[in-house]
Amino acid sequence: MKTDNKTNSHVYWNPYFGGFLLGIIIIFTFYLTGRGLGASGAMKSSVVTIVDQVAPTHAENNAYYSKFISKDDSPMNTWLVFEALGVLIGAFISGGLAGRIKWRIQHSPKISSKRRLVFALGGGILFGLGAQIARGCTSGAALSGMAVLSTGGFITMLAIFGSAYAVAYFFRKNWI
């Protein structure tokens, strides 16, 4: 990772090159697995596994959880779980090599660390609920959907960016 000595800041990859690589990865994933990328499937598998371990009777009797539970195979034995683990491990390796791993809460001087955590947790919960309702996260529903020219993929991407643009004005004081 290069650093700019004038400002002592990191020089990151060109975002267009990163987007190009993401497109190549999506095509490669479709070729190998017959489906696109996604992260919410790994979260679903993790939740199903936890519920099955903590309350197996509830998981077996629940219409949603029971679809994913099998005596022969664990819900964690899916390529989406390994994809998510690979992304996490890769992120830590990349951050470690670039010297960017620091255990701190980044926030604007205008808000406290506690408020930043509350907003991050709330946003994560809302995003997780939205991914469940939409039957996929931005990776699965939008990027992979657009890669196969799905109308739903384009609508999802427009909805994601449109709603973010619409509410950004109300939350900007937390970041600027």
Gyration radius of the chain's alpha carbons: 19
Q: What is the pLDDT of residues 113-155, one digit of tens each?
A: 898 889 889 988 988 888 878 777 777 778 888 888 889 888 8
Domain map (residue ranges) of the chain = 1-103, 105-176
Minimal CA–CA distance to 87: which of 24, 16, 43, 39? 39
Output the six-digit token pair for 52. 């099955």
- In this model, does residue 5 exceed pLDDT 70? no
Average pLDDT score over residue span 91-113: 83
Average pLDDT score over residue span 41-51: 88
Long-range contacts of 81-84 (CB under 8 A, 24+ apart): 81/42, 81/45, 81/46, 83/37, 83/38, 83/39, 83/42, 84/39, 84/42, 84/43
Place 51 in a pLDDT band, splitting at 50, 70 and 90: very high
What's the pTM value of the predicted model, to 2 decimals? 0.67
Distance CA 34, CA 26 (A): 10
